[in-house]
Protein backbone atom coordinates (compact mmCIF):
# COMPACT_ATOMS: atom_id res chain seq x y z
CA UNK A 1 0.00 0.00 0.00
CA UNK A 2 1.43 3.36 -0.97
CA UNK A 3 1.73 5.85 1.87
CA UNK A 4 0.07 8.94 0.46
CA UNK A 5 -0.25 11.82 2.90
CA UNK A 6 -2.68 14.66 2.71
CA UNK A 7 -2.00 17.57 5.03
CA UNK A 8 -5.03 19.54 3.81
CA UNK A 9 -7.42 20.48 6.63
CA UNK A 10 -10.66 18.79 7.63
CA UNK A 11 -13.74 20.99 7.53
CA UNK A 12 -16.01 20.79 10.58
CA UNK A 13 -19.30 22.66 10.79
CA UNK A 14 -22.19 23.14 13.17
CA UNK A 15 -25.18 25.42 13.61
CA UNK A 16 -23.26 27.14 16.40
CA UNK A 17 -20.75 26.32 19.12
CA UNK A 18 -21.87 22.80 20.13
CA UNK A 19 -19.83 21.23 17.33
CA UNK A 20 -16.72 22.21 19.25
CA UNK A 21 -17.31 19.02 21.28
CA UNK A 22 -16.73 17.17 17.98
CA UNK A 23 -13.68 19.30 17.13
CA UNK A 24 -12.34 18.49 20.60
CA UNK A 25 -12.63 14.74 19.93
CA UNK A 26 -10.94 15.09 16.51
CA UNK A 27 -8.06 17.04 18.11
CA UNK A 28 -7.66 14.30 20.73
CA UNK A 29 -7.93 11.31 18.41
CA UNK A 30 -6.27 12.76 15.28
CA UNK A 31 -3.61 15.15 16.61
CA UNK A 32 -1.82 15.49 13.23
CA UNK A 33 -4.90 16.76 11.38
CA UNK A 34 -5.56 20.45 10.72
CA UNK A 35 -9.11 21.73 11.17
CA UNK A 36 -11.23 24.51 9.78
CA UNK A 37 -14.28 25.01 12.00
CA UNK A 38 -17.34 26.99 10.99
CA UNK A 39 -20.13 27.79 13.45
CA UNK A 40 -23.30 29.30 11.99
CA UNK A 41 -23.87 31.46 15.06
CA UNK A 42 -26.02 34.00 13.19
CA UNK A 43 -28.64 31.42 12.27
CA UNK A 44 -28.53 29.06 15.25
CA UNK A 45 -30.54 27.01 16.25
CA UNK A 46 -31.11 24.61 13.37
CA UNK A 47 -33.27 22.38 15.57
CA UNK A 48 -36.37 24.54 14.96
CA UNK A 49 -35.85 25.11 11.20
CA UNK A 50 -37.44 23.28 8.27
CA UNK A 51 -35.57 20.60 6.36
CA UNK A 52 -35.25 22.79 3.23
CA UNK A 53 -33.74 25.63 5.24
CA UNK A 54 -31.23 23.34 6.96
CA UNK A 55 -30.20 21.93 3.55
CA UNK A 56 -29.77 25.44 2.10
CA UNK A 57 -27.67 26.61 5.07
CA UNK A 58 -25.56 23.44 5.00
CA UNK A 59 -24.93 23.82 1.26
CA UNK A 60 -23.61 27.38 1.78
CA UNK A 61 -21.30 26.15 4.53
CA UNK A 62 -19.96 23.27 2.43
CA UNK A 63 -19.22 25.76 -0.38
CA UNK A 64 -17.34 27.95 2.10
CA UNK A 65 -15.31 25.02 3.48
CA UNK A 66 -14.45 23.85 -0.04
CA UNK A 67 -13.11 27.36 -0.77
CA UNK A 68 -10.61 26.58 2.03
CA UNK A 69 -9.54 23.37 0.22
CA UNK A 70 -10.67 20.91 2.88
CA UNK A 71 -10.10 17.22 2.13
CA UNK A 72 -13.13 15.93 4.06
CA UNK A 73 -16.11 17.41 5.88
CA UNK A 74 -17.56 16.49 9.27
CA UNK A 75 -21.14 17.63 9.82
CA UNK A 76 -20.75 18.24 13.56
CA UNK A 77 -24.44 18.92 14.03
CA UNK A 78 -27.02 16.23 14.64
CA UNK A 79 -29.81 18.26 13.02
CA UNK A 80 -27.86 18.90 9.80
CA UNK A 81 -26.63 15.28 9.81
CA UNK A 82 -30.23 14.05 10.07
CA UNK A 83 -31.81 16.48 7.59
CA UNK A 84 -29.13 17.50 5.06
CA UNK A 85 -26.36 14.94 4.87
CA UNK A 86 -27.98 12.56 2.39
CA UNK A 87 -28.66 15.42 -0.05
CA UNK A 88 -25.17 16.90 0.34
CA UNK A 89 -23.53 13.54 -0.33
CA UNK A 90 -25.43 13.36 -3.63
CA UNK A 91 -24.30 16.85 -4.63
CA UNK A 92 -20.61 16.92 -3.61
CA UNK A 93 -17.71 14.54 -4.17
CA UNK A 94 -15.79 15.53 -1.02
CA UNK A 95 -16.01 12.71 1.59
CA UNK A 96 -18.52 13.60 4.29
CA UNK A 97 -19.29 12.12 7.64
CA UNK A 98 -22.20 12.94 9.95
CA UNK A 99 -23.08 12.27 13.56
CA UNK A 100 -26.09 9.99 13.25
CA UNK A 101 -24.65 6.80 11.82
CA UNK A 102 -21.60 6.54 14.15
CA UNK A 103 -23.85 7.25 17.16
CA UNK A 104 -26.41 4.64 16.11
CA UNK A 105 -23.74 1.98 15.52
CA UNK A 106 -22.21 2.59 18.97
CA UNK A 107 -25.62 2.37 20.66
CA UNK A 108 -26.50 -0.86 18.82
CA UNK A 109 -23.20 -2.36 20.04
CA UNK A 110 -23.66 -1.16 23.62
CA UNK A 111 -27.25 -2.24 24.28
CA UNK A 112 -27.96 -5.61 25.89
CA UNK A 113 -31.74 -5.42 26.26
CA UNK A 114 -32.31 -3.59 22.91
CA UNK A 115 -34.05 -0.64 24.58
CA UNK A 116 -32.34 2.54 23.41
CA UNK A 117 -33.16 6.13 24.33
CA UNK A 118 -32.36 9.13 22.14
CA UNK A 119 -32.38 12.76 23.24
CA UNK A 120 -31.87 15.65 20.83
CA UNK A 121 -33.33 18.81 19.34
CA UNK A 122 -36.89 18.88 18.05
CA UNK A 123 -35.68 18.52 14.44
CA UNK A 124 -33.33 15.60 15.15
CA UNK A 125 -36.01 13.72 17.09
CA UNK A 126 -38.71 14.48 14.50
CA UNK A 127 -36.47 13.35 11.62
CA UNK A 128 -36.40 9.82 13.06
CA UNK A 129 -32.95 9.25 11.52
CA UNK A 130 -31.37 7.66 14.59
CA UNK A 131 -34.28 5.23 14.90
CA UNK A 132 -34.10 4.41 11.19
CA UNK A 133 -30.40 3.47 11.39
CA UNK A 134 -30.91 1.55 14.63
CA UNK A 135 -33.69 -0.54 13.09
CA UNK A 136 -31.51 -1.28 10.06
CA UNK A 137 -28.84 -2.56 12.44
CA UNK A 138 -31.31 -4.46 14.64
CA UNK A 139 -35.00 -4.76 13.66
CA UNK A 140 -35.92 -5.84 17.22
CA UNK A 141 -34.75 -2.65 18.88
CA UNK A 142 -37.15 -0.47 20.90
CA UNK A 143 -36.35 3.20 20.36
CA UNK A 144 -37.61 5.87 22.76
CA UNK A 145 -37.01 9.51 21.84
CA UNK A 146 -37.32 12.77 23.70
CA UNK A 147 -36.65 16.31 22.51
CA UNK A 148 -34.82 18.36 25.17
CA UNK A 149 -34.75 21.89 23.70
CA UNK A 150 -33.77 23.67 26.92
CA UNK A 151 -30.48 21.77 27.34
CA UNK A 152 -28.71 23.91 24.71
CA UNK A 153 -29.32 27.33 26.32
CA UNK A 154 -28.39 25.88 29.74
CA UNK A 155 -25.04 24.68 28.38
CA UNK A 156 -24.37 27.97 26.60
CA UNK A 157 -25.10 29.89 29.79
CA UNK A 158 -22.50 27.72 31.54
CA UNK A 159 -25.10 26.22 33.92
CA UNK A 160 -23.62 22.73 33.76
CA UNK A 161 -23.62 21.74 37.44
CA UNK A 162 -26.60 23.81 38.44
CA UNK A 163 -29.82 23.08 40.26
CA UNK A 164 -31.86 24.33 37.27
CA UNK A 165 -30.08 21.88 34.99
CA UNK A 166 -30.66 18.99 37.38
CA UNK A 167 -34.37 19.89 37.43
CA UNK A 168 -34.56 19.98 33.62
CA UNK A 169 -32.70 16.67 33.30
CA UNK A 170 -35.17 15.01 35.64
CA UNK A 171 -38.17 16.63 33.91
CA UNK A 172 -37.07 15.51 30.43
CA UNK A 173 -35.64 12.08 31.23
CA UNK A 174 -37.95 10.64 33.88
CA UNK A 175 -40.26 9.10 31.27
CA UNK A 176 -37.39 6.84 30.14
CA UNK A 177 -37.76 4.98 33.46
CA UNK A 178 -40.78 3.02 32.28
CA UNK A 179 -38.95 1.78 29.15
CA UNK A 180 -35.91 0.37 30.98
CA UNK A 181 -33.45 1.71 28.42
CA UNK A 182 -29.85 0.56 28.87
CA UNK A 183 -28.28 2.94 26.29
CA UNK A 184 -28.90 6.65 25.78
CA UNK A 185 -27.70 8.53 22.69
CA UNK A 186 -26.74 12.13 23.45
CA UNK A 187 -28.10 13.26 20.09
CA UNK A 188 -27.02 16.89 20.20
CA UNK A 189 -23.46 18.20 20.28
CA UNK A 190 -24.10 20.23 23.43
CA UNK A 191 -25.31 17.27 25.45
CA UNK A 192 -21.93 15.61 26.20
CA UNK A 193 -21.20 18.69 28.31
CA UNK A 194 -24.18 17.65 30.49
CA UNK A 195 -22.80 14.13 30.88
CA UNK A 196 -22.49 14.42 34.69
CA UNK A 197 -26.05 15.55 35.53
CA UNK A 198 -27.47 13.09 32.96
CA UNK A 199 -25.37 10.20 34.31
CA UNK A 200 -26.37 11.06 37.89
CA UNK A 201 -30.01 10.91 36.90
CA UNK A 202 -30.07 7.77 34.69
CA UNK A 203 -27.64 5.78 36.85
CA UNK A 204 -24.88 3.30 36.09
CA UNK A 205 -27.08 0.78 34.30
CA UNK A 206 -27.49 3.13 31.33
CA UNK A 207 -24.57 3.58 28.92
CA UNK A 208 -24.31 7.13 27.57
CA UNK A 209 -23.38 7.23 23.88
CA UNK A 210 -21.46 10.32 22.79
CA UNK A 211 -21.76 10.62 18.98
CA UNK A 212 -18.96 13.24 18.97
CA UNK A 213 -16.48 10.61 20.17
CA UNK A 214 -17.82 8.01 17.72
CA UNK A 215 -17.73 10.48 14.80
CA UNK A 216 -14.03 11.26 15.38
CA UNK A 217 -13.37 7.52 15.43
CA UNK A 218 -15.23 7.04 12.13
CA UNK A 219 -13.30 9.96 10.62
CA UNK A 220 -10.02 8.30 11.53
CA UNK A 221 -11.15 5.09 9.81
CA UNK A 222 -12.32 6.99 6.72
CA UNK A 223 -9.01 8.87 6.31
CA UNK A 224 -7.04 5.67 6.75
CA UNK A 225 -9.16 3.76 4.28
CA UNK A 226 -8.80 6.46 1.62
CA UNK A 227 -5.12 7.10 2.38
CA UNK A 228 -5.89 10.72 3.20
CA UNK A 229 -4.21 10.94 6.60
CA UNK A 230 -1.88 13.80 7.43
CA UNK A 231 1.79 12.96 7.87
CA UNK A 232 2.69 11.72 11.31
CA UNK A 233 4.10 14.63 13.31
CA UNK A 234 2.53 17.19 10.95
CA UNK A 235 1.92 20.41 12.87
CA UNK A 236 -1.85 20.75 12.96
CA UNK A 237 -3.34 24.20 12.43
CA UNK A 238 -6.78 25.17 13.68
CA UNK A 239 -8.80 28.00 12.14
CA UNK A 240 -12.22 29.13 13.31
CA UNK A 241 -14.94 31.03 11.49
CA UNK A 242 -18.42 32.15 12.54
CA UNK A 243 -21.33 34.02 11.01
CA UNK A 244 -21.84 36.18 14.15
CA UNK A 245 -21.13 36.59 17.89
CA UNK A 246 -17.36 36.15 17.99
CA UNK A 247 -17.09 36.94 21.71
CA UNK A 248 -19.56 34.26 22.78
CA UNK A 249 -17.78 31.80 20.51
CA UNK A 250 -14.39 32.53 22.07
CA UNK A 251 -15.61 32.17 25.65
CA UNK A 252 -17.38 28.87 24.86
CA UNK A 253 -14.35 27.57 22.95
CA UNK A 254 -12.16 28.22 25.97
CA UNK A 255 -14.45 26.11 28.12
CA UNK A 256 -14.58 23.20 25.67
CA UNK A 257 -11.35 22.91 23.69
CA UNK A 258 -8.00 21.57 24.91
CA UNK A 259 -6.22 24.60 23.40
CA UNK A 260 -6.76 28.35 23.71
CA UNK A 261 -8.43 29.99 20.70
CA UNK A 262 -6.70 33.27 19.86
CA UNK A 263 -9.09 34.51 17.22
CA UNK A 264 -12.20 33.67 15.28
CA UNK A 265 -13.02 35.24 11.93
CA UNK A 266 -16.52 36.45 11.09
CA UNK A 267 -17.66 35.74 7.52
CA UNK A 268 -20.78 36.48 5.48
CA UNK A 269 -21.98 32.94 4.89
CA UNK A 270 -24.85 34.09 2.65
CA UNK A 271 -22.25 34.91 -0.02
CA UNK A 272 -21.62 31.21 -0.54
SS3 for 248? helix
- Are residues 77 and 21 in contact, defined by beta-carbon separation less than 8 angstroms? no
- Rounded mean pLDDT of the chain? 94
Contacts of 12 (CB under 8 A, 6+ apart): 19, 22, 23, 26, 35, 36, 37, 38, 73, 74, 76
Is residue 22 pLDDT above 80, yes or no? Answer: yes
Mean pLDDT of 200-215: 96
Q: How many residues does the chain have?
A: 272
Is residue 1 pLDDT above 60, yes or no? Answer: no
The residue from 99, 188, 208, 209 that is catalytic is 188
Alpha helices of the chain — where are they, by DSSP H? 20-29, 51-67, 78-83, 85-91, 100-110, 122-127, 129-137, 151-156, 163-173, 195-202, 211-225, 246-256
pLDDT band at residue 6, thresholds of 50, 70 and 90? very high
Q: Is the whole-model pTM more than 0.85? A: yes
Per the DSSP assignment, residues forming a β-bridge with 184 are 117, 208
Q: Per-residue pLDDT tens for 225-237?
A: 999 999 999 999 9
The residue from 26, 35, 77, 242 that is catalytic is 77
Binding region for substrate: 14-15, 46-47, 78-79, 189-190
Q: Per-residue pLDDT tens for 104-135?
A: 999 999 999 999 999 999 989 999 999 999 99
Please state, for a pLDDT cut of 90, what percent of the chain lies above it. 94
Peptide bond into 45 cis (omega under 30): yes
* Ordered structural domains, the chain, with CATH: 10-98+213-271 (3.40.50.1860), 100-211 (3.40.50.1860)
Q: Is 188 assigned a catalytic role? A: yes
pLDDT band at residue 2, thresholds of 50, 70 and 90? very low
Is residue 61 pLDDT above 50, yes or no? Answer: yes
Is residue 268 pLDDT above 70, yes or no? Answer: yes
Amino acid sequence: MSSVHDNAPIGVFDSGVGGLTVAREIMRQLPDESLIYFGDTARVPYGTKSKDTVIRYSRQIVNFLLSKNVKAIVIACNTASALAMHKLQQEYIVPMIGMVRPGAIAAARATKNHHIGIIGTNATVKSGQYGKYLRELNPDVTVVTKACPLFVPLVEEGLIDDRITEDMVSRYLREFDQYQIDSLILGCTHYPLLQNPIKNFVGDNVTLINPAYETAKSLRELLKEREMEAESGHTAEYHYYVSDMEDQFLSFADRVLPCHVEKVQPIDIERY
